[in-house]
Structure 1
Amino acid sequence: MKRRDFLYMTGMGLGATILPKAGLLGKDVPLDAPWYSVDTAIKKELADVALNEARAKGATYTDVRIGRYLNQYVITREDKVQNIVNTESYGIGIRVIANGSWGFAATDKMDKDSIAKTAQLAVAIAKENAKLLTEPVQLAPQKGYGEVSWKAPIEKNAFDVPVKEKAELLLSANAAAMKAGANYINSYMFLVNEQKYFASSDGSYIDQDVHRIWPTFTITRIDAKTGKFETRNALSAPVGMGYEYLIPKASEKIAGPTTLYKKRYDILEDAQLGAKQAGDKLTAKSVEAGKYDLILDPSHLWLTIHESVGHPSELDRVLGYEANFAGTSFLTLDKWESKKFNFGSKLVNIMADKTQPGSLGAVGYDDEGVGTGKWDLIKDGILVNYQTIRDQAHILGLNASQGCCYADSWSDVQFQRMPNVSLQPGKTKASPQDLIKNVEKGIYIIGDGSFSIDQQRYNFQFGGQLFYEIKNGKIVGMLKDVAYQANTQEFWNACVGVADESDYRLGGSFFDGKGQPMQVSAVSHGSSTAHFKGINVINTARKI
């Protein structure tokens, strides 16, 4: 299978957001190529060329991003390795302000003359853009940090693990699933290493090393008599960790009807149980539509948070900059200005965080050289803030950016992207079992599934992977054909319970698309299990 075919196939199965990046994965590199990083002294020397040339041509501000991006994807099906992708992309992006306007240019020719010419082009573009400007760019002030670095706190670099070992792990998971009754299984392992160097005319020289990993699979079980089938996707979360993520700790296991761990993942156990559960879904009772209390596991709730909280609190979406592609937001500025907009119940506390260890969005500095932190978006159910970058901060009256700038490649201009956005755990001691005890008629949902949400991130529908019926405080059996519908405000106001910190876990998106041309980013969303009262549930079964 060629890389282009792989991108098409996995894009269809795992999200079309990966497709536009086909030309940006870079060049193929040998599978046994050793992991290394470019010397920071070399990167600083090249960055200074760009900074000096841009200033000489009239730029009042310049930032430079030198990026080396490694991508490795291992794809298997049953007892075969279908494809292995191992690529490197290396280049420089230069962004400037001249005559009050932005300009950007990039190149993969990493010699000083080419970099100088690219800086000249960025300034020329800015000056042309300025002719159409209605008001100049207003950048929030940002001090220079000098020469600093940040590295993801990984224990085992996944790029140092032989590809053969990774493939064998996936094939072992496949074998476990097939032995447990699966008819088909596709399994994947996605690895990303972003080696990012940022320099700016503010006086920052920042070197960062970012790692991400996502092992996942899809299992299919078929009823030979009826020809009907059911699937069960992996309950793994993509994370900002090294290969240690795939070395589970028994002490982290979460009690419940499926295989879940606090911070790590057992793909063999999940594949074996997933095959059984896909079979159970074949004989599960089809849900009766109506109002139910929902107990939502973090492996499911992360996606609802992402779509109904993360995206609508992006300030560029609020301002309408995303209207042409993915819609705007119902969280308009007047709601924030009122300081009393009731987003959810008083139990709903949602925080943005770019520092959380192990999360996909964790970095020391964003792609504008802003040191990262965390802040409240929803406090005691009230909308209190958004997500901003340097040229947006003045709109909210902020003195500094919140560090939400990101570009998925050296060849793309950076723009506002979502930080980790998470529901905070309940303050009262409570386990998922404690929440279930309070439910007379409900459904416990595990894992993410298909979803739909309108262009303002208000009306939505979400499915899942596993559904369990709750009666009189007890789980009584499995259900299928379940999806729930609500609008964002009524849903979060229906939150009547959140488990405590001991149940807190991360989910997330490895390929979250935004912008035109589209870029992808990776972002985590944490929560503990939560209870939502009186939510409308529909039956999704189709009669043929």
Structure 2
Amino acid sequence: MKRREFVGLTSLAAGALFLPSFPGFGGTPVDPERLLEGVDPALKKRLADAALNAAKSAGATYADVRIGRYLNQSIFTREKQVQNIASGESFGAGVRVLANGTWGFAATNTVTEAGLAKAAQLAVAIAKANSKVQKEKVNLAPQKGYGEVSWKTPIVQNAFEVPIAQKVELMLAANAKALDNGANFVNSALFQINEQKYFASTDGSYIDQDVHRIWPTFGVTAVDRTTGKFRTREALSAPMGMGYEYMTPKAADKIAGPSGTGLIGYKNSYDILEDAALAAQQAKGKLTAKSVTPGKYDIVLDPNHLGLTIHESIGHATELDRVLGYEANYAGTSFATLDWKKQNKPYGSKLVNIIADKTQPGSLGAVGYDDEGVKTKQWDIIKDGMLVDYQKIRDQAAMVGQNESDGCCYAQSWQDVQFQRMANISLKPGTQKMSVDDMIKNVDKGIYIAGRGSFSIDQQRYNFQFGGTVFYAIEKGKIAGMLEDVAYQANTQEFWNSCSAICDESDYRLFGSFFDGKGQPPQVSAVSHGSATTRFNGVNIINTARKIG
């Protein structure tokens, strides 16, 4: 896109109310054309070697360096206006070392051989100082070096190569679809991220990776002018580890929701115009929807909803640092301790099979190697309802009697130290052929829930409450109209043990969290959760409506 066109578009945002800033976005503002530049891998290798050599000379027994160029672009619109367009870049290096059995870390944005050598020396000095109060030496799982290798998100079209005018046009067209179908207000956004990451270590790895992610989203609001009542419906898109091809809808990627709802599920591409039109219609429908009667119901959960429940009640609960109590201040620890696991209590019914996977195509967490230079893989977390493993990195493996990392270490940028982060955590689909309508026809009294909503969960990932975006009553095997004010309450074991049916592979799709927070200082990461539509029996439903006065 030509600079003149870019300036013309961005001027539309002058004086507009900007949306709140988002974690993971920022850095130095740059011309969009800069986003297509790269850094020579040979240069990055020379820089990395300068850091590694300096660390060893200063007394480090192990060192790794991450040279990162982190790019982001965000587009915000509202109704017929562009609110904000921002392109950012962050470039620098982080050096992590082991000296005297203790970690040390330092980072620099002076990306020269001298700058990285100085950072390495500082990291060693920090490690030696830390070692004076370190009670136990770090036990690092062995890791072979891979030499010079590379990995890239298998994209079809780089989103940063698409002209901004084209992306703005699509966002405004989605807004128009919503307004034409009865919405009173609508805003939309498009987030794009590219992580150009170079990792090198004294193990002998030089790993060059190019990671891409994208997330289109919107919110529509319908208002009853007579009563002042309003209802909203968020997008049913999922952030994905893909390029701009995700924005080109394909019929083969669409999955019909339950008969009588008009809902569409999306796999590897997304039709934002179709979803925006339906969102407006459903927001209007919510204005007159019946308020739910509290009680016990069988609930049928769409993958775009269930992914969040998986994330909170299984994903975070099986992070080993939470299990061991090392991660506590940010959202708590976990009930699923090592002692709990030894008791062989079922985490869920025998239908519940949960896998961790850092290799899944299209997922947000898919990379070839993690931020410790460990080749990524898939492994079991829950098998036939029983907890069989956790998520762990190199300095955690020995704590549970294992000798290798799971490859789930990550840092949000070059200036942050890497630590254990959630892998893609997914529920395997059912093995018997079953559509959503097949599942619903066996439900006598139930509720179908799609889309994300508000939630709460306790500090041990056990007791929780989840809402959603749209709700439909199920009566005697059929959809019987929209509901409102719905939330379900349970504890993690009770909920997953009530799992009674899972649709087959044809209904499987991804949910994603683009900005998952953890740690202090806090960091964000992106992670996906796959599932097919799933049924849970006898779940407690509450009415969330509040009366004032």
User: Taking structure 1 as the reference length, what is the TM-score of the superposition?
Assistant: 0.96
Q: Measured at CA, do residues 8 and 377 of structure 1 come closer, stay the same or move farther in structure 2, by a change above 3 Å?
A: farther
Partner of 1:314: 319
2:517 counterpart letter in structure 1: G
Contact 2:17-2:83 within 8 A present in 1 as well: no
SS of corresponding position for 1:254 = strand
Contact 2:16-2:83 within 8 A present in 1 as well: no
1:10 counterpart letter in structure 2: P
Looking at structure 2, the residues matched to 514 and 51 of structure 1 have their Cα atoms a distance apart, in angstroms, of 28
> Is 1:44 equivalent to 2:45 in the alignment?
yes
Partner of 1:102: 103
Partner of 1:469: 473
1:236 counterpart letter in structure 2: S
Looking at structure 1, the residues matched to 28 and 339 of structure 2 have their Cα atoms a distance apart, in angstroms, of 48
SS of corresponding position for 1:33 = helix
Looking at structure 2, the residues matched to 263 and 443 of structure 1 have their Cα atoms a distance apart, in angstroms, of 27
Looking at structure 2, the residues matched to 512 and 324 of structure 1 have their Cα atoms a distance apart, in angstroms, of 15
Partner of 1:386: 390
> Is 1:253 equivalent to 2:251 in the alignment?
no
SS of corresponding position for 1:196 = strand
Looking at structure 2, the residues matched to 122 and 63 of structure 1 have their Cα atoms a distance apart, in angstroms, of 11
SS of corresponding position for 2:382 = strand
Looking at structure 1, the residues matched to 119 and 505 of structure 2 have their Cα atoms a distance apart, in angstroms, of 49
Looking at structure 2, the residues matched to 539 and 224 of structure 1 have their Cα atoms a distance apart, in angstroms, of 24
Contact 1:68-1:196 within 8 A present in 2 as well: yes
Looking at structure 2, the residues matched to 169 and 263 of structure 1 have their Cα atoms a distance apart, in angstroms, of 18
1:264 counterpart letter in structure 2: S
1:482 counterpart letter in structure 2: V
1:9 counterpart letter in structure 2: L
Looking at structure 1, the residues matched to 237 and 72 of structure 2 have their Cα atoms a distance apart, in angstroms, of 19
SS of corresponding position for 1:119 = helix
User: Which structure 1 residue ranges, 4+ long, deviate > 6 Å from structure 2?
Assistant: 5-8
Looking at structure 2, the residues matched to 88 and 419 of structure 1 have their Cα atoms a distance apart, in angstroms, of 25
Partner of 2:446: 442
SS of corresponding position for 1:536 = strand
1:204 counterpart letter in structure 2: S
SS of corresponding position for 1:55 = helix
Gaps of 5+ in 1: 12-17
% identical aligned pairs:
67
> Is 1:459 equivalent to 2:463 in the alignment?
yes
Shift of 1:6: 10
Shift of 1:325: 2.2
Partner of 2:290: 285
Alignment of structure 1 residues 295-334 onto 2, 5 Å = 295-334=300-339
Shift of 1:7: 11
Shift of 1:398: 1.1
Q: Can you list the C-alpha shifts for 1:193-247, whole angstroms capped at 9, x where unaligned?
A: 0000000000000000000000000100000100000000000000000000011
> Is 1:335 equivalent to 2:340 in the alignment?
yes
Shift of 1:33: 3.3
Partner of 1:184: 185
Contact 1:32-1:162 within 8 A present in 2 as well: no
SS of corresponding position for 2:226 = coil
Shift of 1:335: 2.2
Looking at structure 2, the residues matched to 540 and 9 of structure 1 have their Cα atoms a distance apart, in angstroms, of 27
Shift of 1:263: 1.9
Partner of 1:145: 146
User: Taking structure 2 as the reference length, what is the TM-score of the superposition?
Assistant: 0.95
Contact 2:74-2:87 within 8 A present in 1 as well: yes
SS of corresponding position for 2:216 = strand
Gaps of 5+ in 2: 1-9
Shift of 1:255: 1.3
Contact 2:507-2:532 within 8 A present in 1 as well: yes
SS of corresponding position for 2:528 = strand
2:210 counterpart letter in structure 1: D
Looking at structure 1, the residues matched to 410 and 184 of structure 2 have their Cα atoms a distance apart, in angstroms, of 41
Contact 1:388-1:403 within 8 A present in 2 as well: yes
Alignment of structure 1 residues 101-140 onto 2, 5 Å = 101-140=102-141
Partner of 1:426: 430
Shift of 1:34: 5.2
Contact 2:364-2:527 within 8 A present in 1 as well: yes
Partner of 1:410: 414
Looking at structure 2, the residues matched to 33 and 54 of structure 1 have their Cα atoms a distance apart, in angstroms, of 32
Alignment of structure 1 residues 201-240 onto 2, 5 Å = 201-240=202-241
Provide the alpha-carbon RMSD of the alignment.
Answer: 1.5
Looking at structure 1, the residues matched to 282 and 134 of structure 2 have their Cα atoms a distance apart, in angstroms, of 58
SS of corresponding position for 2:255 = coil
Looking at structure 1, the residues matched to 264 and 271 of structure 2 have their Cα atoms a distance apart, in angstroms, of 8
Q: Measured at CA, do residues 535 and 214 of structure 1 come closer, stay the same or move farther in structure 2, by a change above 3 Å?
A: same
Q: Can you list the C-alpha shifts for 1:48-75, whole angstroms capped at 9, x where unaligned?
A: 0000000000000000000000010000
Looking at structure 2, the residues matched to 226 and 491 of structure 1 have their Cα atoms a distance apart, in angstroms, of 38
SS of corresponding position for 1:464 = coil
